[in-house]
Each structure stands twice: as C-alpha cells, then as structure tokens.
Amino acid sequence: MLIAYRTSVANSLLAALPYKDHQLLLAHLEPIELTFGEEIYVPGEPIRHVYFPTDSLVSLLTQVDGHQALEVGMVGHEGMLGIPLALGISNSPVRALVHGAGMALRMTSAHFNYEFQHSVGLRHEIFRYIYDQMSQLTQTAVCNRFHHVEARLASRLLMTRDHVRANQFHLTQDLLGDMLGVRRVGITKAANDLRLRKLIDYNRGDISILDDEGLEAAACPCYQTVKDMRKATQTPLANRS
C-alpha cells in the first residue's frame, strides 16, 4: 500500500525531511495500528522494523534485576523507534511498550539501512533526533535522582499530553510505576494528591488533565527543560530546500 504524503507528515521527523527524500521513503512505509500494552522491541532481540508514530506513543523501558522497570524515553509523533540501527546496532537495548494506542508508519530494517546510507536529509533528521533523545535521557537521570514523585508524575503526564496531543489518555498504574520507577502505592498516592488539587481526574487508568496551568506549576522543571531543548534542535531541512 502506498502511503500518501499527507498521512506521513503527521510524524514530525518525516515532515521535516526535504520533499525529495521524503518521497523516496513513502514507497517503503506501511501503516500499522499499535495497541495499548503491545511490545514493539524486546531487549537483546533484533530490530525488524523501524516505526514512525503518527498518533501513538511508545515508552522505552530498562529493567533492573529482571523485574523493576524504569522509563528512559518516550517516542511519539515527533520521533522514531529503531535508532540503534542508525548507530550500526541491530538489537534493541531496551523494551519498547505501547502506552498510547494509535497509528504508526513502519519500514523494514533493511529498507531503513539503505535509505539511511543514501539520504542526507534522513541522516540529518535522525542525528538531530538522537541528540533529542540523549538530552531527554540526561534529564531523566537527573529527574529520577532529585525530583519528588508527585512532581515527576505531573511532568510525565504533561509530556504524554504533548505527545498524544490530547488532554485525555489511558495509563495503568503498573505502567505509570514503570515510567517513574516507583511502586504502585507511590503512584496511587501521587495521583491522588494531584486529583485532590483538582489538576487531574484519574479513574481506572483513564486520565483527564483538568487544569493545564496548574499541572505545569506542579510539575518538576524537567518538563519545560526537555521541551525547550527539543525546540532548540528543530531546524527542518524541508524549510531550507
């Protein structure tokens, strides 16, 4: 199935490509629906496809002692899953778990490797995105060490809102626990605190942000820092060609 240009620009990384480079990729992309809780990558296993989410959201998780997980990245419409391929690595170092159901465009690893070698525009965008992810990872390390769980939860909810472009989304307590690296009881308390302050509503995993400004004030500074870093690196080649 041939993907239309207007479908693929829902992913900002693809949208930023020069038109010619973008057109060449379209022939190799196929739409795929990602369902909540679906595992895209397993640590240590080969990456068979790269994914460009359009309205889905995927968490990158590391595991400690075989069970306790921690989110080290979040990939939505702004990015791509399968970055290790661009660095010459064919296996995933992390677990990639869908936490926002929706659509993505995917391409086989073989096609991606070919296009990555031949498209200057794609390389430029991927390198910029790798820098974005490194920045996000650095901030996550600081955040996990120094910021209080309630403020971290507020930050993650705002990041999720921005990624899915909606004020309502579904996140289970288990997944929130994995995202923040805390136990379920800690998540319950933090979510309750935000609910009592009338910043969010939370019912069986269905989250509604009720007060954007209030939640931003409750969030740790990492939310704004990551947003600013991302904005600073967005220099689409598409606008220059």
Minimal distance in Å, beta carbon 154 to Zn ion? 9
Minimal distance in Å, beta carbon 197 to Zn ion? 18
Minimal distance in Å, beta carbon 219 to Zn ion? 8
Check: CB of residue 25 under 8 Å from CB of residue 115: yes
Check: CB of residue 207 under 8 Å from CB of residue 168: yes
Select 54 or 139, whichever has its Cβ closest to Zn ion: 139
For Zn ion, the binding residues in 133-192 under the rule CB under 5 A are: 143, 147
Minimal distance in Å, beta carbon 71 to Zn ion? 12
Looking at 222, 226, 230, 237, which residue binds Zn ion (CB under 5 A)? Answer: 222
For Zn ion, the binding residues in 1-20 under the rule CB under 5 A are: none
The contact mask relative to Zn ion for 99-138 (x = CB under 5 A, - = no) is ----------------------------------------
Check: CB of residue 75 under 8 Å from CB of residue 57: yes
Looking at 57, 180, 194, 220, which residue binds Zn ion (CB under 5 A)? Answer: 220
Site for Zn ion (CB under 5 A): how many residues? 4
Question: Residue numbers of the site for Zn ion (CB under 5 A)?
Answer: 143, 147, 220, 222
